[in-house]
Amino acid sequence: MKVYIADLIIGAFAFNEKGERIDYQLAPRDLDEAVDQALKIEQGEVYGPLADLLERLRGENPTIVVEDDYLARSISKLGFETEVEPANDIAVKARENLVSLAVETGFAEDEKRFLEWLFEAELEYTRRKLRKAAEKRDLLAAQAIRAIDDIDKTVNLYVARLREWYSIHFPELNDLVKEHEDYVKIVAELGHRSNITKEALMQLGFSEAKAEKIAEAAKNSIGADLSEFDIEAVRTLARIVSELYRLRRNLTEYIEQVMKEVAPNITALVGSLLGARLISLAGSLEKLARMPASTIQVLGAEKALFRALRTGGKPPKHGIIFQYPDIHRSPRWQRGKIARALAAKLAIAAKVNAFSGRFIGDKLREELRKRIEEIKRIYAKPPKRKPEAAKPAAARPKRPKKGRGRRPGRGGGKRRKRR
């Protein structure tokens, strides 16, 4: 005998093959317990009302028909034979008649009160799902790395403006100090070029030779003399940029800690920042874990990939993982092979982080290192270019014969004989 189970928020219902209700077990009317039950239904667990209903049906030795594979496995563990029929007519009809079932079985007094209760239950269910999604720390790492990218764009924009602005007063400094953060530090801390001395620069962390060179240039600068009022405006911008640098360092430390908690295997392979970028591009750690290695390899290069598919050109060999040192420091002909090996290890690391929690980062890193050494040994020299096949000489196009008809732009017809 087949018994169809409809797992609803108001309880568990059993129907025969004709769709007739043969038994049911109502769920508690408490809102919190009802929401807990809805979450258990989603996860395919055998909860209180369903467990009680199955216990009563055990004596008839039925075949339990459900819609979900996970729930079927859970019921099978209790000793029942199960079948899976997704979206079968009996279960669908039970959901369609949820309001009438609630009133008939005494779960609610009337339809209006039940609909009010159902609205509150769905609202609380949505709140809990959102709260659970917000608690995923991998999303925190993804947001933090996006914040770092935004800071980098802002800093580059502000530093370019600061260098142009301060060059009016001390143009030689632009060539002497290439590092943006060092340049910002000098402007923010010292300001007017008369304050740029050898001792002051050494206190900021510059070497003696570098400090002496900058101080000498400041003394003999051809820049315009600015008032303290003008210099203070420039220093304000420099202080803001300096604060952005400090914020970036803090976020980097934060990402390192979060990534060690949520994705230690990925962090062991590629570091915290690149690992966080991969999670950010994928959407979450779980989504990254479900991706094949070939997709992980080109994450971040989607535009180039789709352009190659559209035009028939060569697809990209790597995406954001190009930032991995062993890829961007290697010769051009080795990069694709190293990227493929790295993507394969990242796919394993993401799956273990998302679904197991075991730490195998050291093992994966060692295997990757050996594979990279093998690639560098086998493909030490660039491959020989294949000679292009000789193309057949194109047939010379025949020139059209001159006709006697009317030529465009000129008078038509036959020439008249001159008299």
Range with the poorest average pLDDT among 98-107, 164-173, 254-263, 288-297? 98-107
96 and 67 part of one domain = yes
Stated as kind and residue range, the H or E segment containing 23 is: strand 21-26
**Between 133 and 247, the higher pLDDT residue:** 247
Residue type, 206: F
What DSSP letter does each residue of 73-105 carry, written as one string?
HHHHTTT-EEEE-TT-HHHHHHHHTHHHHHHHT
- Distance of alpha carbon 195 from its chain centroid, rounded? 47
217 and 249 part of one domain = yes
What is the model's pLDDT at position 77?
A: 82
Distant-in-sequence, close-in-space partners of 75: CB < 8 Å, separation ≥ 6:
46, 54, 64, 66, 82
CB 323 within 8 A of CB 274: yes
123 and 72 part of one domain = yes
In a domain, 104, yes or no: yes
What is the model's pLDDT at position 387?
A: 66
153 and 97 part of one domain = no
Residue 62 pLDDT > 80, yes or no? Answer: yes
CATH number for 182: 1.10.287.4070
231 and 288 part of one domain = no
**Between 212 and 309, the higher pLDDT residue:** 212
What pTM value is reported for the model?
Answer: 0.63
CATH number for 354: 1.10.246.90
108 and 10 part of one domain = yes
- Measured CA distances, 162 to 159, 184, 206, 240, 244 (Å): 5, 8, 20, 11, 14
Q: Which residues form the domain of 369? A: 263-378
Overall average pLDDT of the 90-97 stretch:
87
pLDDT tens readout for residues 105-131:
888 888 888 898 888 888 888 877 776
119 and 6 part of one domain = yes
What is the model's pLDDT at position 419?
A: 46
In a domain, 19, yes or no: yes
164 and 210 part of one domain = yes
In a domain, 52, yes or no: yes
60 and 44 part of one domain = yes
Last residue within a domain, chosen from 134, 163, 195:
134
In a domain, 400, yes or no: no
How many Cα atoms sit within 13 Å of 138 on the Cβ side?
24
In a domain, 405, yes or no: no
pLDDT tens readout for residues 151-160:
999 999 999 9
CATH number for 108: 3.30.420.220
64 and 151 part of one domain = no
Last residue within a domain, chosen from 214, 235, 254:
254
291 and 364 part of one domain = yes
CB 193 within 8 A of CB 176: no
What is the model's pLDDT at position 389?
A: 53
Which contacts (CB < 8 Å, 24+ apart) does range 101-104 have?
101/8, 101/10, 101/13, 102/10
pLDDT tens readout for residues 234-260:
999 999 999 999 999 999 999 999 999
Last residue within a domain, chosen from 187, 220, 254:
254
Two tokens, residue 133 = 């999604």
155 and 269 part of one domain = no
In a domain, 105, yes or no: yes
In a domain, 300, yes or no: yes
Distant-in-sequence, close-in-space partners of 351: CB < 8 Å, separation ≥ 6:
289
In a domain, 308, yes or no: yes
Average pLDDT, the chain: 86
Domains contained in the chain, number: 3
pLDDT tens readout for residues 361-391:
999 999 999 999 999 999 988 888 766 555 5
What is the model's pLDDT at position 22?
A: 86
Stated as kind and residue range, the H or E segment containing 247 is: helix 228-262
What is the model's pLDDT at position 47?
A: 75
